[in-house]
């Protein structure tokens, strides 16, 4: 009788545990998709391609960006209205919120996982928060000259030395903050770096920081090991066969420039081109024609391909097209008609799948990157940015 009872209890616990396991998931393979106008994010398991849930109440997400804690347990997002949110990715709940500013534009998490930095358009400057409880611990006003109002700031990005680097739009400068020192001092100010910094990136190894300027014909390059100067990288040079300037429907995002091997793939500002730079000396290697003006240029893990979305006039073929560049031949090898308003291709950690937001059709499409065929589609309201949780261990993401 005891054996029968034990067997029944074992079967019950096994069945119960099996049901619980079915609902469990890890956090290192999630896709967090921003619903641009709903103040919400959608969370997807990118291994099973399963919709896990939705978290609401995150503020104005028209230009939202997002970072992850080191263990990928939490996602932190900054909304355009200055709402800073901490999302628990295991319970799919909003853990806490804070106010960073009236108009915020960027967020980064420090190397030691302890602090967040948020950059503001209004009231300008940057703010440091404790990542555990979102307590404000430091304001950096970004006053670049006596009597001036605080500059709008953009970025920021983290480095292997536990620094934060961000740009001052009105200040035409780049500042460096030491996140491991008491009081978070500004340890370097690169003044007159270029006119109106607007976006930036850091190479995957965390060494080279690049900043784009709205009104200058160069990018700025800083060696974070030396912090000695801002080197000018010419972006005015074009292929001789270039058809001329194209309308700028969206300003290219530097964060998603692609680094593959020794080459950097960069969307040309106001041109239907992707520029290829040799990162050994940052010389121009090639100018690759594409259908529209690139917004995100993203390297597939492994570096064999680069996927580029295209912006164009509403309803045009360009805004439907994702182009795949072969990084050996430095030419377009595939074109994918992804749908109206297709943007922001993002890969799973090992690159077997790519997620694409199709904003004007309220859906996210998942592609098999080998066959370029659709694996799955999800209904998502006005999706925009897609953030993979494998970013948790990467610099500048």
Read off the pLDDT of residues 311-341 as tens digits, 9 standing for 90 and up: 877 778 888 999 999 999 999 999 999 999 9
So what CATH class is 100-234?
mainly beta
pLDDT at 254: 59
* 45, 29 contact by CB (below 8 A): yes
Q: Tokens for 50, please give them.
A: 């399963």
Q: What is the dihedral of CA 15, 18, 22, 23, to 10 degrees?
A: 80
Is the pLDDT confidence value at 376 over 80? Answer: yes
Number of Cβ atoms within 10 Å of the Cβ of 319: 25
Cα–Cα distances in angstroms (integers) from residue 247 to residues 215, 272, 293, 295, 368, in the given order: 16, 9, 8, 13, 32
* 31, 53 contact by CB (below 8 A): no
Q: Tokens for 99, please give them.
A: 């106010």
Is the pLDDT confidence value at 130 over 80? Answer: yes
pLDDT at 293: 84
The pLDDT tens digits of the residues spanning 166-213 come to: 999 999 999 999 999 999 999 999 999 999 998 888 888 899 999 988
> CA-CA distance, 285 to 287, in Å (whole number)?
7
- pLDDT interval class at 59 (50, 70, 90): very high
Mean pLDDT of 137-157: 94
* 174, 364 contact by CB (below 8 A): no
pLDDT at 280: 86
pLDDT at 257: 74
- Percent of the chain at pLDDT > 90 equals 69
- pLDDT interval class at 73 (50, 70, 90): very high
- Percent of the chain at pLDDT > 70 equals 88
Mean pLDDT of 136-164: 94
- pLDDT interval class at 23 (50, 70, 90): low
- pLDDT interval class at 282 (50, 70, 90): confident
Segment of 32-36, 277-281, 289-293 carrying the highest mean pLDDT = 32-36
Cα–Cα distances in angstroms (integers) from residue 188 to residues 163, 175, 216, in the given order: 10, 6, 22
pLDDT at 251: 59
Per-chain mean pLDDT for the chain: 88
The residue written with tokens 């998502």 in the block is: 380
Q: Which residue did the predictor score with more confidence, 148 or 219?
A: 148
Mean pLDDT of 10-24: 48
């Amino acid at each position: 009788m005891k054996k029968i009872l034990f067997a029944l209890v074992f079967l019950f616990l096994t069945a119960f545990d099996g049901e619980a396991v079915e609902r469990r998931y890890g956090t290192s393979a999630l896709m967090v998709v921003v619903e641009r106008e709903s103040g919400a994010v959608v969370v997807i398991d990118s291994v099973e391609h399963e919709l896990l849930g939705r978290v609401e109440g995150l503020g104005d997400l028209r230009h939202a960006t997002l970072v992850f804690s080191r263990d990928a347990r939490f996602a932190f997002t900054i909304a355009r209205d200055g709402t800073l949110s901490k999302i628990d990715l295991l319970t799919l709940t909003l853990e806490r919120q804070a106010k960073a500013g009236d108009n915020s534009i960027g967020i980064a998490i420090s190397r030691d996982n302890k602090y967040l930095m948020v950059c503001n358009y209004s009231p300008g400057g940057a703010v440091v928060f404790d990542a555990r409880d979102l307590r404000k611990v430091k304001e950096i006003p970004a006053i670049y000259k006596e009597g001036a109002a605080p500059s709008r700031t953009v970025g920021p990005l983290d480095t292997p030395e536990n620094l934060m680097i961000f740009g001052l739009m009105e200040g035409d400068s780049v500042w460096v903050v030491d996140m491991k020192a008491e009081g978070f001092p500004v340890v370097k100010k690169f003044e007159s770096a270029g006119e109106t910094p607007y976006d930036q990136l850091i190479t995957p190894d965390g060494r080279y920081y690049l900043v784009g300027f709205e009104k200058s014909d160069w990018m700025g390059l800083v060696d974070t090991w030396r912090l000695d100067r801002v080197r000018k990288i010419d972006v005015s040079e074009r292929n001789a066969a270039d058809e001329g300037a194209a309308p700028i429907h969206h300003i290219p995002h530097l964060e998603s420039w692609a680094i593959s091997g020794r080459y950097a793939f960069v969307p040309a500002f106001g041109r239907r081109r992707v520029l290829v730079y040799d990162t050994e000396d940052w010389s121009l290697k090639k100018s690759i024609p594409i259908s529209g003006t690139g917004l995100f240029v993203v390297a597939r893990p492994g570096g064999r391909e680069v996927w580029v979305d295209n912006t164009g006039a509403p309803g045009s073929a360009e805004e439907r097209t994702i182009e795949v560049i072969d990084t050996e031949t430095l030419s377009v090898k595939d074109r994918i008609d992804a749908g109206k308003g297709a943007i922001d291709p993002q890969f799973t950690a090992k690159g077997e799948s790519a997620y694409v937001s199709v904003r004007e059709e309220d859906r996210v499409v998942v592609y098999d990157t080998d066959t370029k065929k659709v694996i799955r589609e999800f209904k998502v309201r006005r999706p925009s940015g897609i953030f993979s949780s494998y970013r948790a261990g990467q610099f500048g993401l």
